[in-house]
């Protein structure tokens, strides 16, 4: 014990720092750092670390900044294109069917072609099932906004899925979601979960981490469980889309309806003749212009003979209607002409209408026809109804119109069916009155026909009624029918009236009706019922083809309307061209002179009238559009074309004569109020010397009359010079601004940035160097306020400068305000208010993002300008200038598509019409940077044919691979390098730079492995590129003479045949020269 | 690649029947979206060629001066394509790659398939039938959409009374391009090395122009107030006093409106004076909003310097009276560039629409499918011109 004590006494106990308690805490707080007296002075204590964090933050900020894509979205966007892709048997159709059922309550039988539904208050969706071949995949990848990748979960991923993902990547990656199906085949939950996870992670590596993956349970009634489908629908409705570059610069139409409108006789005579085809669809991408060339994928480049806007077949509900509620069944519409909805079956060469049960036809007739129909339709049409019933869908049954009770109408229709003599026979019997109004014509019609007309009218009315009933039922016959009801709003009376009118014309309308039914030429039952309505559409001026399918009717109507319109046009023109015509007559002599009295006064009146009407310059330049405001650009083009022909007849070397005498009339009077009239007249005058002389043709410089220029010599208060005084800074600013700027801005307002710097110069004094005169601002009344001018000059200058500075500050303020919001500009407001805002803004402004904000501002301004500029112009004029905006439903008529397009048309294969920009047609050598896909099994060889997909097109070409040597030489490569990019040159259609390209060795389904052979981007276009190949000329002597020898086997192709005075080494001896290179097979 | 077949200057009247035939065939109207555009007549030759190169669409022009005529300049009989037109085609051919030009024996029919504008350093003799302004004005839009920047040395007439002179090009045309976002970093210049007056010519200019990826849409509607007038009176192979007399007389009328008028005088003698004597005046009015209006006139045989100056000042007053943000000579160029913008709306205020612009508008419709809105503003008697660009991009340029 004592030892221990002594020990403690000897060895001094070391100090134990307390590990807990107040003191320890205090120390902990300090963290062992040296306390600094002035922490602010050392705010950056760790320079390296701070630099790193700052750099990192900057980098991150930088990464966030992307060049903003211009958003070209319109108010009513086109339906979202949802492509459902998956290998065969993975459940694509089931998925689409389930979604359609969810949205519209309709049971889809097939899912061919684009199916458009209204999915929400402000979203429509077009579903398209991706066919099972590579071409379809490539085409659809170019137009998909969102892709639902259907994967058979029980089987795992298949090659198609990855191929498709790769295709998507090349053509601008749209949104992708994955749907795992057939998960009910797992009986082990653990295995299911593991598989799901595995598939998900694999999918994520392909797309991005967190990409949406849905799982689907088993089928119930051929559909997926409701909750899971609803989940997908939720995401479909929420997804936002980012503009893709190619589609942001090119218009395109995914065709959802197609009609062959070739004259049947032509096809009969030559089955391979070019077909006239009308296709329908929503415009997507940018504006589709009527004169644009388009590429029909798979068919080639074509000019559009006609583009016309149609009524939206599947419109969004109006905003007010659905403001506070969800859509009802009637509003959630369905439009899918290619998908055999309802009772229409599309066959290769015809459409069969399943009329289900016949309401009108007598039993005895029906039996006969049924047999015939079955024979013709191959059971396709009539069988479908039964199938539908088998499906257990009770809703559908109502579609046939079971509770039909319009006995009168059915009686009338039966009478119609009983008509035994054809209309043309009746025509022969009837009288025709050529002149007189329609009433007169009506009198001339025979009694029999009059009764027929009445019957037709009644029938039409009945049809209308029946339809109204259908709509009221809310059954699905249809939601797609509802869309047509929009058109119908004009009312039954109107249509019945029209039908009676048509009947009274004694034309063959009725005949057309029945004949077309016989032909079964591409009309639905619904359309059939609504025949009168349809005819009206065709008859309305310019509204060519509101669902028009009847050729016969179309011809008649076109003729009639055409004649009518021409007549009207002539009348319109007459006031302008009259004078000219009359002059001609006068020269011939021998015409009554009565009309000549007071011609001058009348002309003067008309001139004034026209002047007040604001001569339409556009008409003068582009020719008169005519067609009562309903015209479209293509039509107009045809008009001008015909004008040219007219011009040819008159003056052989005249070119592009303007129709309509308005300009000529103005020429005669030589008025110069409007630039257009003036220019026109001179154009006409100058025709001759333009053709021959040197001085006349093709010069942009414009010379006024020499005589007119003498006016400038005048003096006095009302001389010419005084008249333009206010266009100079020395003039009166207020009126000067008024005279100059219609925008009201002018320089005097001081609200535009550009002007103000210059203003300051204006205010300053200067010396006229040539005369030595001095000018002070006091000498000119240069501001609105004239008060300062009275003071002495120096003083005035002082105040001016001050004022200048103030104005400048205000201008800056208003400029900044403009960046914040446009409403300020309109407000104008007082100066004080502006100043306050400046102060508020002034603090916010940071130099860093000044540039970015400036750019944003500019873009926004531009977009407002885009929106506002043509707003007041009326639809037809807007369509002509801007083209058809996205979201419009259009009908495109092609004059000559190859017959194969029609004969091989399959609704399940997508038809895409892609617009080509200027200079994108034609062929060129294309230089691309490309890389063989690493999953593709084989290396690629130069000059082996590849199928390239670029832009809208797919084409086969022979690529040449090359690599760049350090001396910028493009060296030929026989094979693609491994794991490296190389240059790939090929001859093909023009592709803009930076467009993604990809290539396949074969598009067939038989190929094994990964079919994508090559991916890359287009770099450059040219007529020719230089790729060089190093040649080793090795040959064997064949015949040897004294100083010459024939060498064998030196060249391996024509291309290599090369002669030049390069020294060839000949087994150690000195140089020799190739004299005649030649390659023999 | 190129087949510049024949520059038919032969008076071959016997062929006219053949020509008739071709004209019948070519009277087919241009359908919307047709691949080859067909035209007739000699007018607007340059417009058509330029639009063809830009749009990449082949053209065929028939009936180019099918009947022999005499001209003012030369007493010889003229028929078919003329010297300056052939020179323009040759120049375009030099600056492009893959252009195919075919001209028939009599020179009355031209088939033109455009290639890619490659640009680069070239020198060309433009002849003496049209001035260099005619050539450069046509080349400008091509120069912007070229593979490599233009660096041209052109020789010929620098100033005449028919086309824009090099002074006007330098003072007004090139600055106009800047509104479209061209040459923000410089590189756009026109250097006059030697002056050349008609008929002898002998002028020499250097023209450089940078390339663009795409243009910027414009909104150019405020004419502002004219704040200064600048001018250039040049004379060559005549007494230097003549330029002074021109300058002096041009100020007379203008000084009644504006004190800030300054006319440079530019006298050339010896080698830099070209082949023929001559003098000319070009006046540029500048407004507070950066608007530049040009008017110019050149001396004819026996013109007095005083008359020339006086006439020039009247011309500029006429331009100012017409108003607008571009003068009458530059309407067409501005409108072409507006069409070549991205798919955005461009607006421009012009004075009176000239006949040249009207035909240009029609050509723009044919080649690019572009329609303009022409809204007359009766209050100021100007025309508001607006259109939507076609989304044109420089396809010749290479990407990295």
Q: What is the CATH number of the domain that holds A927?
A: 2.40.30.10
- Rg from Cα positions in chain B: 21
For residues A505 and A441, is the Cβ–Cβ distance under 8 A?
Answer: yes
Task: Write out chain A residues lying below 8 Å of B1, CB-based.
Answer: 1023-1024
The answer to whether the Cβ–Cβ distance between A698 and B371 falls below 8 Å is no
- Residues A918 and B141: their CA atoms lie apart, in Å, by 15
Pair (A1008, A1058) in one structural domain: no
Amino acid A608: pLDDT: 66
pLDDT score of B312 more than 60: yes
Q: Which residue of A has its CA nearest to B399?
A: A1019
Q: Are A764 and A776 in contact (CB under 8 A)?
A: no
| Candidates 3.10.20.600, 3.40.309.10, 3.65.10.20, 2.130.10.30; CATH matching B1-117 | 3.65.10.20
B47 → closest Cβ in A698, A728, A758 = A698
Given A697, A730, A743, which is nearest B222 (Cβ)? A743
Instruction: Give mean pLDDT, residues A192-199.
Output: 94
Average pLDDT, stretch A419-434? 69
Report which of B68, B109, B118, B67 is spatially closest to residue B91, judged by C-alpha positions: B118
Which pLDDT value is given to residue A176? 95
Alpha helices in A11-85 (DSSP H): 22-30, 47-64
Same domain, A437 and A487: yes
Which tens digit of pLDDT belongs to each residue from A907-956? 889 999 999 988 888 889 999 999 999 999 899 999 999 999 999 999 99
Smallest Cβ–Cβ distance between B41 and the set A655, A924, A1022 belongs to A655
Query: How many whole angstroms separate alpha carbon B268 and alpha carbon B232?
Result: 13
| Shared-domain flag, residues A931 and A969 | yes
Region B246-261 average pLDDT: 91
Per-residue pLDDT at B265? 93
pLDDT of residue A849: 72
Dmax (CA) of chain A: 160
Q: Is the pLDDT of residue A379 over 90?
A: no
pLDDT at residue A396 is higher than 80: no
Q: Across chain B, how many H-helices and E-strands are there? A: 10, 20
How many beta carbons lie within 10 A of that of residue A826, not counting itself? 8
CA–CA separation, A521 and A510 (whole Å): 16
CB contact under 8 A, B395 and A992: yes
Contact A693 B352 (CB under 8 A): no
Q: What ipTM was predicted for this assembly?
A: 0.86
**Phi and psi based region of residue B114 (left: phi greater than 0; alpha: psi -120 to 50; beta: remaining):** beta
Task: Report the length, in residues, of chain B.
Answer: 400
| Domain annotation covers residue A246 | no
Q: How confident is the model at residue A376 (pLDDT cuts 50, 70, 90)?
A: very low
Of the candidates B365, B384, B366, B367, the one whose C-alpha atom is nearest the C-alpha of residue B375 is: B384
Residues A446 and A513 placed together within one structural domain of the fold: yes
Say which residue, A625 or A326, is predicted with more confidence. A326
Same domain, A391 and A510: yes
Mean pLDDT for B372-376 is 91
| Cα B133 to Cα A129: distance, rounded to the nearest angstrom | 59
Q: Which positions ≥6 away from B231 have C-beta within 8 Å? A: B247, B250, B261, B262, B263, B264, B281, B282, B283, B284, B312
Mean pLDDT score, B351-358: 90
Please determine, for residue B165, whether its predicted confidence score (pLDDT) is greater than 90.
Answer: yes
In DSSP terms, B376 is beta-bridged to B383
What confidence tens digit (pLDDT) does each residue in B64-87 have?
A: 888 776 655 555 667 888 889 999
The pLDDT of residue A661 is 35
Rounded to whole angstroms, how far apart are CA atoms A677 and A683?
A: 10
pLDDT averaged over chain A?
A: 69
Matching residue, tokens 């049809």? A463
Task: Look at residue A272 and tell me whether its pLDDT is greater than 80.
Answer: yes
Task: List chain B residues with CB under 8 Å of A993.
Answer: 393, 395, 397-399
What pLDDT shows up at residue A593? 60
Is residue A415 domain-resident?
A: yes
Say whether B257 and A641 touch across the interface (CB within 8 A).
Answer: no
Burial class (CB in 10 A: 0-12, 13-18, 19+), A594: exposed
- Using the Cβ of B45 and the Cβ atoms of chain A, whether some distance falls under 8 Å is answered with yes
* Residue B262 backbone dihedrals phi, psi, to 5 degrees: -140, 120
Residue A677 has pLDDT above 80, yes or no: no
Structure confidence at residue A131 (pLDDT): 93
A924 contact residues in B (CB cutoff 8 A): 98, 116
**pLDDT tier for residue B142 given thresholds of 50, 70 and 90:** very high
Q: Are the C-beta atoms of A907 and A112 separated by less than 8 Å?
A: yes
- The mean pLDDT value of chain B amounts to 86
Task: Name the minimum distance, in Å, from the CA of A799 to any CA of chain B.
Answer: 21
Tell if the CB–CB gap between B399 and A993 is shorter than 8 Å. Answer: yes
For residue A138, what are its two tokens?
């490539």
Q: What residues of chain A lie within 8 A of the CB of B321, using their CB?
A: 720, 723-724, 727
Q: A303, A624, A918: which to substitute to probe chain B, counting the most B Cβ within 10 Å?
A: A918
Whether A1003 and A1052 share a structural domain: no
The one-character DSSP state at A1068 is: T
Could you tell me which residues come within 8 angstroms of residue A463 by beta carbon, excluding any fewer than 6 positions away?
Answer: A409, A529, A530, A531, A532
Closest to A533 in 3D by CA, of A435, A463, A444: A463
For chains A and B, CB pairs below 8 A equal 394
Picking from A641, A694, A761, the nearest residue to B73 by CB comes out as A694
Residue A278 pLDDT > 50: yes
Ranges A70-74, A455-459, A1000-1004: which has the least confidence: A455-459
Assigned domain for A972 exists: yes
Q: Are residues A943 and A1037 in the same domain?
A: no
How many residues in total does chain A contain?
A: 1081
- Any A CB within 8 A of B48 CB: no
For position A982, what pLDDT does the model report? 96
Chain A CA closest to residue B45 = A698
Q: Phi, psi (5° rounding) for residue A580?
A: -65, -50
Cβ contact B354–A702 (<8 Å): yes
Looking at the structure, tell me whether residues A1015 and A1058 fall in a common domain.
Answer: no
User: What's the mean pLDDT in A1005-1013?
Assistant: 85
Distance CA(A598)–CA(A604), nearest Å, equals: 10
| CB-based contact, B290 to chain A, within 8 Å | yes
Last residue of a domain, which of A520, A545, A573? Answer: A520
B382, HSE (Cβ side, Cα atoms, 13 Å): 29
CB-CB neighbours of A897 under 10 Å: 20
pLDDT per position as a tens digit, A53-107: 999 999 998 888 777 777 778 888 999 999 999 998 899 999 999 999 999 888 8
CA angle A636-A642-A645, nearest 5°?
A: 150
State which fold the B327-388 domain adopts. Answer: Ribosomal Protein S8; Chain: A, domain 1 (3.30.1370)
pLDDT range class, residue A347, cuts 50, 70, 90: low
Question: For residues A127 and A148, is the Cβ–Cβ distance under 8 A?
Answer: no
Beta strand B226-236 with B278-287: parallel, antiparallel or unpaired? antiparallel
Mean pLDDT, to the nearest integer, of A633-653? 34
Instruction: Specify if A341 maps to a domain.
Output: no
Mean pLDDT, residues A444-450:
42
Mutant choice from B1, B43, B136, B309 vs A, greatest count of A C-beta within 10 A: B43
pLDDT at A165: 95
CB contact under 8 A, A870 and B386: yes
Cβ(A72)–Cβ(B343) below 8 Å: yes
Q: Given this model, what pLDDT does residue A522 score? A: 35
Q: List Cα–Cα distances, A357 to A397, A569, B68, in angstroms.
A: 10, 49, 78
Domain spans in chain B, listed from the N-terminal domain onward: 1-117, 226-322, 327-388
Per-residue confidence (pLDDT) for residue A888, from 0 to 100: 92
Is domain B226-322 annotated with CATH 3.40.50.2000?
A: no
Is residue A934 within 8 A of residue A978, CB to CB? The reply is: no
What pLDDT shows up at residue A750?
35
Q: Which residues of A touch B258 (CB under 8 A)?
A: 728-730
In a domain, A55, yes or no: no
HEC string of A120-150 equals: ECCEEEEEEECCCCHHHHHHHHCCCCEEEEE
Rounded to a whole number, what is the distance in Å from the CA of B97 to chain A's nearest CA?
6
Query: Band of the pLDDT at A380, cuts 50, 70, 90?
Result: very low
Q: What's the sign of the alpha-carbon dihedral A825, A827, A828, A831? A: negative
The answer to whether the Cβ–Cβ distance between B225 and A747 falls below 8 Å is yes
**Residue A66 domain-assigned (yes or no):** no
Chain A residue numbers touching B252 (CB-CB < 8 A): none
Q: Does B271 touch chain A (CB under 8 A)?
A: no
Chain B, residues 299-328, CB within 8 A of chain A, namely 311, 313-315, 317-318, 320-323, 328
Mean pLDDT value of segment A292-314: 90
Question: What burial class does residue B235 get, using C-beta atoms within 10 Å of its C-beta: 0-12 exposed, 13-18 middle, 19+ buried?
Answer: buried
Q: Shortest CA distance to A875 belongs to which of A634, A562, A537, A631?
A: A631
Q: Is A986 in the same domain as A1043?
A: no
- Mean pLDDT throughout B212-238? 93
Residue A737: its chain B contacts at CB < 8 A? 225
Report the 10 Å Cβ neighbour count for A54.
11
Helical (H) or strand (E) element with A468: helix A447-473
A372 and A467 co-located in one domain = yes
Closest CA–CA distance from residue B171 to any residue of chain A (Å): 15
Which residue would you say has higher pLDDT here, A723 or A552? A723
Measure the CA–CA gap between A1046 and A1048, rounded to whole angstroms: 6
A499 and A359 assigned to the same domain? yes
Residue B315 C-alpha, separation from nearest chain A C-alpha, in angstroms = 7
Candidates B98, B256, B382; nearest CB to A1023: B98
Specify the number of domains making up chain A.
4
In this predicted model, what pLDDT tens digit does every residue of A484-517 receive, in sequence order? Answer: 343 333 333 443 344 334 333 333 333 333 333 3
Per DSSP, the three-state class of A541 is coil
Distance CA B125, CA A768 (A): 41
Under the banding of pLDDT at 50, 70 and 90, the label for residue A163 is: very high
CB under 8 Å to A676, separation ≥6 — which residues?
A615, A617, A620, A621, A663, B353, B358, B374, B376, B383
For residue B86, the chain A residues in CB contact (below 8 A) are none
- β pairing state of A1036-1040 and A1045-1048: antiparallel
Strands (E), B31-157: 37-40, 59-62, 69-70, 77-78, 96-97, 100-103, 110-113, 116-117, 120-125, 150-156
Burial A647-676 (b: 16+ CB within 10 A, else e): bbeeebbbbbbbbbbbbbbbbeeebbbbbb
Q: Residue B372: beta bridge partners?
A: B387
Residue A162 within a domain: no
Q: What is the mean pLDDT of residues A721-727?
A: 85
Unique residue bearing structure tokens 């033109």: B112
Contacts of A993 (CB under 8 A, 6+ apart): A1018, A1019, A1020, A1021, B393, B395, B397, B398, B399
- The answer to whether residue A396 is domain-embedded is yes
How many degrees, rounded to 5, is the angle at CA A662 between CA A659 and CA A667?
Answer: 110
Q: Is the pLDDT of residue B3 over 70?
A: no
A385 and A512: one domain? Answer: yes
Structural domain harbouring A994: 922-1022
- A98-112, A113-127, A492-506, B354-368: range with lowest mean pLDDT: A492-506
């Amino acid at each position: 014990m004592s030892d221990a004590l002594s020990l403690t006494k000897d060895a001094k106990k070391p100090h134990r720092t307390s590990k807990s308690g107040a003191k320890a805490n205090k120390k902990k707080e300090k963290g062992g750092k040296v306390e600094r007296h002035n922490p602010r002075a050392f705010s950056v204590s760790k320079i390296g670390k701070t630099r790193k964090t700052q750099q990192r933050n900057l980098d991150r900020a930088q990464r966030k900044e992307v060049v903003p894509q211009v958003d070209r979205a319109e108010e009513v966007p086109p339906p979202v294109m949802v492509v459902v892709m998956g290998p065969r048997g993975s459940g694509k159709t089931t998925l689409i069917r389930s979604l359609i059922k969810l949205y519209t309550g309709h049971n889809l039988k097939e899912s061919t072609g684009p199916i458009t539904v209204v999915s929400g208050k402000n979203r429509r969706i077009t579903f398209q099932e991706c066919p099972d071949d590579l071409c379809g995949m490539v085409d659809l990848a170019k137009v998909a906004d969102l892709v639902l990748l259907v994967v058979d979960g029980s089987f795992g991923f298949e090659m198609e899925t990855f191929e498709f993902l790769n295709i998507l990547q090349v053509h601008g990656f749209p949104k992708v979601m994955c749907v795992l199906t057939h998960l009910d085949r797992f009986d082990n939950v653990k295995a299911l979960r593991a598989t799901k996870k595995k598939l998900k992670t694999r999918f994520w590596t392909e797309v991005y981490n967190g990409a949406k993956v849905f799982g689907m349970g088993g089928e119930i009634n051929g559909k997926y469980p409701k909750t899971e489908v609803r989940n997908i629908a939720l995401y479909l409705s929420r997804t936002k889309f980012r503009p893709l570059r190619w589609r942001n610069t090119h218009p395109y139409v995914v065709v959802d309806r197609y009609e062959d409108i070739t004259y049947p006789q032509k096809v009969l005579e030559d089955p391979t003749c070019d077909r006239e085809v009308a296709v329908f669809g929503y415009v997507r991408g940018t504006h589709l212009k009527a004169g644009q060339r388009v590429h029909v994928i798979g068919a080639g480049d074509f000019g559009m003979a006609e583009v016309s806007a149609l009524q939206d077949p599947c419109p969004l509900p109006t905003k007010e209607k659905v403001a506070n509620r969800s859509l009802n069944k009637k509003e959630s519409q369905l439009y899918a002409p290619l998908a055999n909805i309802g009772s229409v079956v599309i066959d290769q060469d015809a459409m069969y209408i399943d009329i289900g049960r016949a309401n009108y036809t007598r039993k005895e007739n029906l039996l006969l026809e049924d047999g015939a129909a079955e024979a013709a339709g191959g059971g396709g049409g009539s069988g479908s109804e039964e199938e539908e019933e088998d499906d257990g869908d009770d809703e559908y049954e109502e579609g046939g119109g079971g509770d039909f009770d319009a006995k009168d109408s059915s009686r009338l229709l039966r009478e119609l069916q009983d008509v035994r003599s054809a209309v043309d026979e009746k025509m022969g019997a009837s009288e025709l009155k050529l002149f007189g109004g329609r009433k007169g014509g009506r009198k001339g019609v025979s009694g029999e026909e009059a009764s027929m007309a009445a019957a037709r009218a009644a029938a039409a009315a009945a049809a209308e009624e029946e339809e109204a009933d259908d709509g009221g039922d809310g059954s699905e016959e249809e939601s797609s029918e509802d869309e047509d009801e929009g058109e119908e709003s004009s009312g039954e009376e109107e249509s019945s009236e029209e039908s009676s009118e048509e009947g009274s014309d004694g034309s063959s309308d009725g005949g057309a009706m029945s004949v077309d039914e016989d032909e079964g030429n591409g009309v639905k039952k619904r359309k059939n019922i609504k025949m009168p309505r349809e005819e009206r559409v065709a008859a309305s001026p310019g509204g060519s083809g509101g669902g028009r399918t009847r050729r016969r009717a179309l011809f008649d109507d076109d003729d009639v309307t055409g004649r009518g319109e021409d007549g009207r046009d002539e009348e319109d023109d007459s006031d302008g061209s009259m004078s000219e015509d009359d002059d001609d007559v006068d020269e011939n002599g021998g015409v009554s002179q009565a009309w000549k009295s007071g011609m001058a006064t009348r002309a003067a009146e008309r001139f004034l009238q026209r002047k007040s009407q604001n001569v339409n310059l556009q008409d003068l330049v582009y020719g008169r559009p005519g067609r009562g405001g309903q015209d479209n650009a293509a039509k107009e083009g045809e008009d001008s074309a015909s004008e040219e022909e007219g011009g040819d007849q008159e003056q052989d070397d005249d070119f592009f004569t303007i129709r309509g005498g308005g300009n000529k009339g103005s020429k005669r009077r030589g008025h110069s109020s409007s630039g257009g009239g003036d220019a026109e007249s001179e154009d006409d005058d100058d025709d001759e010397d333009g053709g021959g002389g040197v001085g006349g043709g093709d010069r942009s410089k414009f010379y006024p009359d020499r005589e007119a220029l003498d006016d400038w010599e005048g003096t006095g208060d009302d001389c010419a010079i005084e008249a333009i005084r206010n266009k100079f800074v020395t003039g009166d600013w207020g009126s000067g601004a008024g005279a100059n700027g219609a925008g009201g801005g002018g320089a005097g307002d001081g609200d535009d940035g550009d002007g103000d710097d210059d203003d300051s110069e204006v205010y300053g004094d200067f010396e006229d160097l040539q005369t030595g005169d001095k000018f002070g601002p006091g000498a000119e009344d240069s501001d609105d306020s004239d008060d300062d001018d009275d003071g002495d000059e120096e003083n005035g200058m002082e105040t001016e400068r001050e004022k200048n500075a103030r104005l400048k500050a205000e201008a800056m303020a208003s400029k900044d305000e403009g960046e914040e919001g446009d409403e300020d500009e309109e407000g104008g407001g007082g100066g004080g208010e502006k100043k306050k805002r400046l102060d508020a803004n002034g603090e916010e402004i940071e130099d860093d993002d000044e540039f970015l904000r400036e750019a944003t501002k500019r873009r926004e301004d531009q977009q407002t300008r885009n929106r506002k500029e043509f707003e007041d112009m009326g639809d037809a004029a807007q369509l002509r200038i801007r083209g058809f905006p996205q979201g419009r439903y259009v009908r495109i008529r092609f004059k000559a598509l190859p017959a194969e397009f029609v004969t091989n048309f399959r609704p399940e294969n997508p038809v895409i019409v892609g617009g080509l920009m200027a200079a994108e047609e034609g062929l060129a050598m294309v230089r691309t940077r490309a890389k063989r896909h690493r999953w593709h099994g084989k290396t690629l060889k130069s000059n082996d044919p590849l199928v390239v997909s670029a832009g809208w097109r797919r084409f086969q070409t022979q690529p040449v691979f090359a690599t760049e040597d350090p001396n910028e030489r493009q060296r030929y490569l026989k094979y693609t390098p491994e794991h490296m990019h190389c240059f790939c040159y090929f001859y093909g259609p023009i592709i803009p730079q930076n467009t993604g390209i990809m290539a396949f060795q074969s598009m067939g389904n038989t190929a094994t492995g990964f079919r994508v052979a090559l991916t890359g981007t287009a770099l450059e276009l040219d007529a020719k590129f230089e790729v060089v190949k190093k040649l080793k000329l090795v040959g064997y002597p064949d015949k040897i003479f004294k100083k010459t020898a024939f060498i064998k086997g030196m060249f391996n192709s024509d291309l290599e045949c090369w002669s030049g005075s390069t020294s060839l080494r000949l087994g150690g001896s000195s140089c020799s020269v190739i004299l005649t290179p030649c390659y023999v097979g | 690649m190129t087949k510049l077949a024949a520059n038919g200057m032969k008076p071959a009247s016997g062929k006219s029947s053949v020509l008739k035939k071709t004209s019948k065939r070519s009277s087919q109207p241009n359908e919307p979206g047709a691949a080859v555009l067909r035209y007739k007549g000699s007018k607007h030759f340059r417009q058509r060629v330029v639009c063809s190169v830009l749009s990449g669409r082949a053209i065929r022009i028939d009936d180019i001066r099918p009947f022999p005529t005499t001209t003012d300049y030369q007493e010889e009989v003229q028929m078919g394509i003329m010297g300056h037109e052939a020179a323009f085609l040759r120049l375009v051919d030099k600056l492009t790659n893959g252009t195919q030009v075919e001209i028939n024996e009599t020179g009355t029919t031209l088939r033109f398939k455009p290639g890619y504008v490659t640009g680069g350093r070239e020198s060309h003799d433009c002849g003496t039938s049209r001035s260099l302004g005619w050539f450069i004005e046509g080349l400008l839009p091509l120069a912007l959409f070229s593979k490599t920047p233009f660096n041209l040395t052109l020789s010929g007439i620098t100033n005449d009374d028919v086309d824009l002179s090099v002074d006007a090009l330098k003072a007004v045309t090139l600055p106009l391009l800047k509104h479209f976002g061209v040459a923000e970093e410089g590189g756009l210049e026109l250097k006059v090395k030697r002056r050349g007056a008609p008929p002898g010519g002998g002028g020499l200019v250097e023209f450089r122009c940078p390339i663009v990826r795409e243009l910027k849409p414009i909104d150019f509607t405020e004419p502002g107030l004219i704040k200064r007038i600048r001018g250039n009176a040049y004379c060559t192979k005549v007494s230097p006093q003549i330029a002074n007399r021109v300058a002096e007389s041009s100020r007379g009328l203008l000084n009644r409106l504006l004190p800030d008028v300054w006319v440079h005088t530019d006298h050339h003698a010896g080698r830099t004076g070209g082949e023929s004597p001559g003098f000319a005046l070009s006046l540029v009015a500048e407004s507070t909003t950066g608007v530049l209006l040009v008017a110019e006139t050149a001396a004819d045989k026996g013109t007095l310097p005083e008359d020339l100056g006086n006439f020039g000042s009247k011309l500029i007053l006429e331009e100012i009276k017409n108003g607008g943000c571009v003068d009458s000579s530059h309407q067409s160029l501005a409108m072409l560039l507006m069409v070549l913008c991205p798919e955005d709306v461009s607006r421009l205020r012009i004075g009176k629409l000239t006949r040249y612009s009207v035909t240009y508008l029609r050509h723009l419709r044919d080649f690019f499918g572009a329609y303009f809105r022409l809204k007359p503003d009766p209050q100021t008697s100007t025309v508001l011109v607006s259109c939507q660009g076609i989304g044109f991009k420089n396809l010749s340029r290479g990407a990295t």
